[in-house]
Amino acid sequence: MGILDKFKSKKEQELKGEILEETKVVKSDAVRTEKAVEKKPVKKARVISTDLSGTIVRPLVTEKAAIIAHVGQYSFLVAPNANRVAVRAAIKAMYGVIPTSVNIQRVRGKFVRFGRTVGQRSDWKKAIVTLPKGKTIDVYEGV
C-alpha cells in the first residue's frame, strides 16, 4: 500500500481490484460484533490475447523444413509482430501440442530484377517450433 493510497475512495479501490476491508460477523456469547478483516490486494494474471488467428500465417514447405520435420522441428511463416509467447500459444491452440522451444528469425527479402527494373521482396519472419519426443503435427495436410 502506497502513501497516497489511503486518500483514494473505496470505489476506486474496488474498481482496481484492491478491496482491502471486508466485514465479518462473529458470534460470541449471544452478542454479534462486526470485525474488519484485512485482505491483501490480489495481482491479476497476465492475459494473453485469445485472437491468435493471424499469428501463424502458413507452414513453410521447403526441402529443409521436410528434413528437420523428422527430428520434431516444424517451421512456420509468422506475422511480423509475433513473438515466442504468441507463437507457442497459437501452436497449442491450433494443433493441441505444447512446444518445448520456439526459435524466431527475421528473414530479409531478396533483391530481384525483371529486365531493367530492380526491386526487393518483402521481409518476413520465420518460427522454428520444436516439439517433445513422440509428438508430431500434420502440417502438410492442407498444402
Domain coordinates in residue numbering, the chain: 56-141
DSSP state of 8: S
Instruction: Enter the C-alpha cell of residue 14.
Output: 474496488
Amino acid at residue number 136: T
Q: pTM of this prediction?
A: 0.61
Q: What are the tens digits of pLDDT across the range 49-104?
A: 556 778 999 999 999 999 999 999 999 999 999 999 999 999 999 999 999 999 99
Residue 140 has pLDDT above 90, yes or no: no
Count of Cβ atoms closer than 10 Å to residue 88 Cβ = 20
Q: In the predicted model, what is the mean pLDDT of the chain? A: 80
Write down the CATH superfamily of domain 56-141.
RRM (RNA recognition motif) domain (3.30.70.330)
Q: Name the burial class of residue 79, with classes exposed (0-12), middle (13-18) and buried (19+) by CB atoms within 10 angstroms of its CB.
A: middle
